[in-house]
Structure 1
Amino acid sequence: MRNRKKKKKNSKWIKWSLLTIIVLLLGTIGYTYFRINNAMNKIYNPINRVHSEVDTAIKPDYVKTFLVLGLDKRPNTNDKGRTDVIMLIVMNDKTKKITMVSIPRDTYVEIAGKNRKSKINSAYGFGVGTTIATVENFTGIPIDHYVLFNFNGFVKAVDETGGLRLNVDQPTAEKINNQFPEVHLPYGDNQLLNGTQALYFSRFRHDNKGDFGRNDRQQEVLKAFLDQSKNIRSPLKINSLLDVLGDDVRTDMDKSTIYSIAFDLNSYSSKNVEQLKYKATTGSIDGISYVFISEEEKARISEILKNKMSEN
């Protein structure tokens, strides 16, 4: 009789314990879902597209194109900021190749829909839609999606992936460390950089290449991120990243599109990434410095990108 009562008591205790665990688990899942949903509501930012002259029919369905924009916005100001990073990325899902090209931020262009010429990074002052249309007109390539991030978002994304492996030359590291001792940027091949170190490395331009060298480093960072991001391509880890980036990233891709692209990226490698460069000159108009890219050079890069899109 005593054993029967004891078994009944134990059974009751187990049931209550299981019920408590289930309630706590459901509560945790619910709270996590709320946080992810809240973050995604901030990140997801569909926009009104501005008309461009580009022919959308030139892009096959198996090709995806993205405009990556890094925003330089000073804190505690009403200024919208300007795009410090302007990078066009072409993903060919048949060849599993990625082609990227950076446009120097001071490039002298026609701002789409504004009947004026200025630096390409000033297009953002009229909105992301104007920036996309301006880049489409400049490159001749239709753009599917955009990703806009600020410097905080960049640092968080790199740290969330566990850092980036990059080759850092000694002169660059020494110049950055002399100017910003708190960064402690290491030098040598295959150095593991945290978010802050990768940010300073990608933004450095005080060498003989100036902004052109910075564009090269930004593309190297993106290649490294492609490899390292293999660690975060499961839905659970993507959700964790979205939660972290909620205040610092905007895109017109919804969650299902992000999941789909992350899944597709599993079949890509940085070894199949081609980096293109514009040949350019520098000069000034009315005392303002610009980067000038000729019509012939624009056509050359545009033709390469179109060929990369049509490969299968």
Structure 2
Amino acid sequence: MIAASGDGPINFLVIGSDSRESLPDDFGDFGSFGGQRADVIMIVQLGDGEAKILSLPRDLRVEIDGFGTQKINAAYAFGGAPLIVRTVSQFTGLPINHYVEMDFFGFASIVDELGGIEVNFSEPARDLKSGLDVQAGRQVLDGQMALAYARSRQYQEYRNGTWQSVDASDLGRITRQQSLIFGMLAAAKRPSIVFDAGSILSSVGDHVTIDDAIGRSTLIELALAMRNLTPSQIQATTLPTTPGTTGGIYYLIADEPAASEVIAVFSGESGLVESTEPLRLRVLNGNGGAGQAGDWAAALEAEGFVVESTGDASAFDFPVTQFQARPGEVGRAEELVAALGFGEVVTGTVPESVDVLVIMGRDALER
């Protein structure tokens, strides 16, 4: 692997392979095929008091040494870790300092070793194929359910009395995967986890691969560095792309100049790319008070936010108003808390058409 230089940020290439080997039969139906591919491709950058996550869609069109124009996940199948590291580095221009790879069973095992990870769900959700089945609200997912969430291709939410398919694209899956990374980082802050990082990785054996330069002391140092990170100090984004075809093959093609602007943030050539568009909101009544969603939607619109829709939450027992943001929008969601003067920001699932889901809690009745 490429060695880190100086005291600058460290880039990890995190690969989730779709190997089904050793996966118990009761872990849901993920299909079968020959070979092994990179199903999740992320660059995780750890710097001074912050972390950044850049997700690369697996259908991203790239040039692979010796193989020409291909989808980026093919690099892993063609040449394993060395080739996908080189391909990602050449495409982004970013050095890759360390490499972490895990298969399905390794991911699920790490989640269980962490004691589960917390994810917020705005509505009851399911995927009949992957086995996902959760209620609305804050849920602690075990390894099996976290894997079902990350792998869901037929994701449904229970809205207005019916099950509706939502965010079924690969980009929707990436957002869910980023939510899980946030949850794993939060779980890893616990002191018992920080000093047991090495043994946790050892316990999952061949299902997780890390490069030789990462020792136990390095893992502990990284875990200690992450303990003080707040959600607003962790930024997650997906490389901007547009669908297209080359030679009759479907690809996601880097959308320029937006893609280069995002990569520039990770290379240190520019600051964080802030959206100039107003936040899009969905406001839900989570306290049962008459007209709560509509009244607070009007108040938020008066502050300059865009309310796409209103409705009732899955329950009326939310004690505290939640501003539920997708990964990467936490900082902007905090603007909502500042505007209203109450509530809390959490990360979790958010409808594709909005940036932040607002669930009015009982604290809103006192305003």
Cα pair 2:20 2:104 within 8 Å, conserved? no
- Whole-Å Cα distance in 1 between the matches of residues 177 and 189 of structure 2? 19
Distance 1:304 1:129, change over 3 A: same
Q: CA deviation at 1:179?
A: 3.0
Q: CA deviation at 1:170?
A: 3.1
Cα pair 2:188 2:227 within 8 Å, conserved? no
Which residue of 133, 143, 152 corresponds with 1:195? 143
Does structure 1 residue 284 correspond to structure 2 residue 232?
no
Amino acid in structure 2 at the alignment position of 1:247:
D
Amino acid in structure 2 at the alignment position of 1:61:
D
Give runs of aligned pairs for residues 1-312 of structure 1, distance below 5 A: 61-75=7-21, 79-93=34-48, 96-111=49-64, 113-114=65-66, 116-125=68-77, 126-170=79-123, 173-174=125-126, 176=127, 178-180=128-130, 183=131, 185-206=133-154, 207-208=166-167, 210-231=169-190, 232-235=192-195, 237-252=196-211, 253-307=214-268
Higher mean displacement: 225-234 or 121-130 = 225-234
TM-score normalised to structure 1 length: 0.71
Distance 1:151 1:309, change over 3 A: farther
Cα pair 1:139 1:301 within 8 Å, conserved? no
Listed one character per residue, the Cα deviations across residues 19-59 of structure 1 (whole Å, up to 9, x for unaligned) are: xxxxxxxxxxxxxxxxxxxxxxxxxxxx5x6xxxxxx99x7
- Whole-Å Cα distance in 2 between the matches of residues 86 and 274 of structure 1? 16
Listed one character per residue, the Cα deviations across residues 156-211 of structure 1 (whole Å, up to 9, x for unaligned) are: 0001111111022436x23x1x335xx46213232111111111111223344500
- Whole-Å Cα distance in 1 between the matches of residues 240 and 198 of structure 2? 40
- Whole-Å Cα distance in 1 between the matches of residues 244 and 259 of structure 2? 18
Distance 1:307 1:234, change over 3 A: closer
Cα pair 1:73 1:79 within 8 Å, conserved? no
Counterpart in the other structure of 2:364: none
Give the superposed CA RMSD. 2.7
Structure 1 residues without counterparts, runs of 5 or longer: 1-46, 50-55
Counterpart in the other structure of 1:43: none
The residue matched to 2:58 in structure 1 has which SS? coil
- Whole-Å Cα distance in 2 between the matches of residues 88 and 259 of structure 1? 20
Q: CA deviation at 1:223?
A: 0.7
- Whole-Å Cα distance in 1 between the matches of residues 6 and 237 of structure 2? 21
Query: Which 4+ runs in 1 deviate beyond 6 A?
Result: 308-311
| Higher strand proportion | 2
The residue matched to 1:303 in structure 2 has which SS? helix
Cα pair 1:60 1:310 within 8 Å, conserved? no
Larger radius of gyration: 1
Amino acid in structure 1 at the alignment position of 2:204:
L
Distance 1:308 1:160, change over 3 A: farther
Amino acid in structure 2 at the alignment position of 1:103:
L
Q: Percent identity?
A: 31
Distance 1:218 1:184, change over 3 A: closer
Amino acid in structure 2 at the alignment position of 1:68:
V
The residue matched to 1:68 in structure 2 has which SS? strand
The residue matched to 1:205 in structure 2 has which SS? coil
Higher relative contact order (CA 8 A, sep 6+): 1
Q: CA deviation at 1:140?
A: 1.8
The residue matched to 1:170 in structure 2 has which SS? coil
Counterpart in the other structure of 1:24: none
- Whole-Å Cα distance in 2 between the matches of residues 165 and 248 of structure 1? 23
The residue matched to 1:222 in structure 2 has which SS? helix
Distance 1:74 1:288, change over 3 A: farther
| Higher helix proportion | 1
Q: CA deviation at 1:305?
A: 1.6
Q: CA deviation at 1:277?
A: 2.4
Distance 1:150 1:308, change over 3 A: farther
- Whole-Å Cα distance in 2 between the matches of residues 101 and 136 of structure 1? 13
